[in-house]
A and B are shown apart, each in its own frame.
Chain A
Amino acid sequence: MEATIEVSGLRKRYGSKQALDGMTFTVRPGHVTGFVGPNGAGKSTTMRVVLGLDAPDEGHALVGGRPYASLRTPLRHVGALLDAAALQPGRTGRHHLLWLAHSQGLGARRVDEVLELTGLGPAAHRRAGGYSLGMRQRLGVAAAMLGDPPVLLLDEPFNGLDPEGIVWMRGFLRALAAEGRAVLVSSHLMSELEDTAGHLVVAGRGRVLADTSVADLIARASGGRVRLRTTAREAAMRALAEAGATVTVQDRETLTVDGLAAEQVVRLLTAREVPFAEVAAHRATLEAAYLDLTRDAVEYRGAAR
């Protein structure tokens, strides 16, 4: 079985809302794929279709080349974290994992392994109702890891984690991918995926806006823009505008110049004797690139295809 997730032409309508509108992408093994987009972009719906919980109106989703519903011990093929709050509060964390293990023909030993793996060991015999949100997330990750699956789908795994937990989760996800697993992680906050995701699927309004590596996305979002630091902001803006550039004020001393290369900016300002401290090619943050991309989904419809 291949460690992939293939999503192809998914459409789904809930009443008047088109939740999925041709969602198509493939998740490959070996790196963490971030699945990002604003709330309502169709991320959770896509994941539920992949996991056989919701039926699409059109299209199909395969895990390792097979529909989820055809898997006999699905947790050994796909691990999923959807809703960390989906627990019966009276049951202990360990017992929650135990019935899941039994459903896959696994035993208590595997349960203890994943409890160790996620650092939940000390809380294993406490009722899940008393867990903090972060502990519930860890329990959800433990459940996803029970079958030691080659494919993982995690919906907003950073929710509720403290800073230490976020660091742990990032390292954990990277390590899973490094073992050759396909890891799909959804988030509505791009910053959470910075330094974690190697690949990104950006969704908006039920379809894919961008399916790209992180490096490409940043490069594209950075465009040909130049960052300029100067104490003579007014003079610089006047000179650059006359040369046809678009200038954006970042702060008191910093401007972003669009439409001129760095060398042209240096030549122009030198000729006009406008003092400047620094001229550099602008490098967008992942966050900015993402915001750029999702600000107006329509604009990028062509680019995504």
Chain B
Amino acid sequence: MTATAPYRSPLGTAGRDGFARLVHAEWTKFRTAPGGPAGLVLAALLVVGLGLLSAAGSHASCSKGPVEVPCPVPPRGPGGEAVEDHFFFAHQPLRGDGSITVRVSAMSGRIRLPDAVPGVRNVATAMTPWARAGLMIKASTRQGASYAAVMVTAEHGVRMQHDFTEDVAGLPGKVTPSTPRWLRLTRTGDTVTGEESADGVRWTKVAAVRLPGLPAQARVGLFAASPGDVRVTGNAVGGSTVTSRFSEVTAVMDRLDVRGAGTGGAFALDDIGVSYELDGSPHHPGGFRESGGTYTITGVGDIAPLTVGSTVENTLAGAMFALVAVIVVGVLSVTAEYRRGLVRTTLLASPRRGRVLVAKAVVVLAATFAGSLAATAVTLPLAKRVLAGNGVHLLPVSALTELRVVAGVAGVLAVSAVLALAFGALLRRGAAAVIAAVAAVLVPYVLATTSVLPEPVADWLLRVTPAAGFAVQQSIPEYPQVVGHHAPAGGFYPLPPWAGFAVLCGYAALVLALAVRRLNREDA
């Protein structure tokens, strides 16, 4: 055997750190195979195309008798959110600091029930749980103007609420002639303090809130409001049907004591936010009567943020279809290598197998996120403009929330692609992995949000399956004090946005870990 000097390569040593090299290699691999980039382009086109198509096809118009008119834009609260601001207000001017005190001695109400005899109004004497009456200070009588109010409610005790979204509980208990409740509202600068008392002697503070920008001259007085009677009934296919019916509340108050500059005159009466019949008469009017120091006030409506309507995330509904495309991209990024035996070449280049799979996941995550983000970031504002042009007004949200929706939907697509990739690596068969990923993400999402399942089941699905991740797109929060039907079918998720997203990420990490384990344990 002849001795030959062993070969020495003139190539230099590798510059980058090992993992960065792998990511670079996987990126090169991803972008040079036609399937991956094409799948992401398709996903982006689905988001943009379906979003704009659906926006272009949506029109809203309202009628005033025989005349078609643009639909009214809902008023907006101080925080920018769309609000319902509908109540009866008996008020006086208040300049500067001052206070108002009253005793609420009785509360009653009426609810219209489904007609037992067709054509005969079926009205019951009852109150909805959040029927309320009490004291309010409001910047003006304009709908949406800043306010603070202390009140008694039918079922939720004393509350202090302000600026539509905020709510603080006082003491529980109902108002009856034998257990009246005293309420007091005090303005000091831009701070408003609400207090309650059982006897008018010993007072308990409910809350002190700041109303920034409350003008020196505000309106102060008595109010009553009663949200609709919302009922949810099961429907034939297992989902639910929601109805909301007229309700009103009537409160009896006395021992009125108003202090401060400008007060003491007669009450001005405003049925704020009431709608009118064609003949000009108010539809379901409230009312106010004064008799020897006793005030009887009747109100209809709600003072609350609007939570039902078209939302910004509705413009990104195409993401559901894009999800299928990115799932296929994620799965094929692994199973195409298994199908051709290319995985061995990959493992020759990187014998540390877990790292190569993670590098692949990083590339799929980043590429899918970038492609989807471009699509969502274009679609949402564009669709919003198209919709506005068609008379459809989305429930307004802050720029930060819009950003969360845009990035969140892209994030759901990207993490779902990683989950699909992990299924591909775990199962090594393209068809099986696509079915697994669709069954994990898309099927529970569709079942839970299309009102075919009983609500507890839908809620449960959106807590424990990867579909929980869609919670990240919910732009309108659920307020405990706001009457409404907050179900998945209406876009309300059982988990907070980032918690839901974390569930999806957890699943992706779990399946990826299982895939790494299998890859490390078995021969390639």
Within 8 A of A (CB), among B42-84: none
> Are A106 and B11 interface neighbours, CB within 8 A?
yes
Which of B21, B28, B33, B348 contacts A53 (CB under 8 A)?
A: B348
Q: Interface stretch among A147-155, A224-232, A250-258, A260-268?
A: A147-155
A51-B523 Cα distance, complex, nearest whole Å: 11
- Check B24–A102 contact: CB distance below 8 A: yes
Verify A85–B340 contact, CB threshold 8 A.
yes
Of the stretches B2-10, B151-159, B416-424, the one at the interface is B2-10
Query: Secondary structure of the B side of the interface?
Result: loop
**Interface status of B344 (Cβ within 8 A of chain A):** yes
Question: Contact partner of B7 among A3, A74, A83, A213, CB < 8 A?
Answer: A3
Interface residues of A (CB under 8 A from B): 2-3, 28-31, 48, 51-55, 68-76, 80, 82-83, 85-92, 95-96, 98-100, 102-106, 110, 143, 147-150, 177-182, 199, 213
Q: A72-B14, A98-B28, A110-B11 are in contact. Are A103 and B349 (CB under 8 A)?
A: yes
* A83 with B344, Cβ < 8 A, contacts A98-B28, A99-B26 known: yes
- B1 contacts A by Cβ under 8 Å: yes
A104 with B14, Cβ < 8 A, contacts A54-B523, A88-B33 known? yes
Cβ 8 A contact of A105, one of B2, B16, B344, B348? B16
Quote the shortest CB–CB distance from A142 to chain B (angstroms): 12
- The verdict on B524 contacting chain A, using a C-beta distance below 8 Å, is yes
A73 to B16, CA, bound (A): 11
Residues on A with C-beta less than 8 A from B1 are 28, 30-31, 199, 213
For residue B114, CB closer than 8 A to chain A, the reply is no
B523/A148 in contact, CB under 8 A: no
A56 nearest CB neighbor, chain B only: B523
Give the distance to chain B from A252, nearest Cβ to Cβ, in Å.
42
A-B contact pairs, 11 of them (CB 8 A): A31-B2, A52-B351, A54-B523, A70-B351, A74-B351, A75-B348, A76-B9, A86-B341, A88-B342, A177-B4, A178-B4
Chain B nearest CB, measured from A227 CB (Å)? 30
**Which of the residues B3, B34, B341, B344 comes within 8 Å of A90, measured between beta carbons?**
B34
Residues of A within 8 A of B317 (CB): none
Question: Are the CB atoms of B340 and A53 closer together than 8 Å?
Answer: no
The answer to whether A74 and B348 touch (CB under 8 A), given A53-B523, A53-B524, is yes
B residues touching A (Cβ–Cβ < 8 Å)?
A: 1-11, 13-16, 18, 21-22, 24-26, 28-29, 32-35, 336-337, 340-342, 344-345, 347-352, 523-524
DSSP class of A's interface residues: helix, strand, loop or mixed?
Answer: loop
Q: Which residues of A contact B35 (CB under 8 A)?
A: 90
Nearest CB in chain B: distance from A223 CB, A: 24
Contacting residue for B25 out of A68, A83, A99, A148, CB 8 A: A99
Q: How far is the CA of A105 from the CA of B16 in the complex (A)?
A: 6
C-alpha gap A104/B346 in the complex (Å):
11
19 additional A-B residue pairs with CB within 8 Å, beyond A55-B523, A70-B351, A74-B351: A3-B7, A29-B4, A51-B348, A53-B344, A53-B347, A53-B348, A54-B523, A68-B351, A74-B350, A76-B9, A76-B14, A83-B344, A88-B336, A100-B345, A106-B11, A148-B10, A148-B11, A180-B6, A180-B8
- Residue in contact with A99 in the complex, picked from B7, B14, B29, CB distance below 8 Å: B29
CB neighbours of A73 from chain B (8 A): 13-14, 21
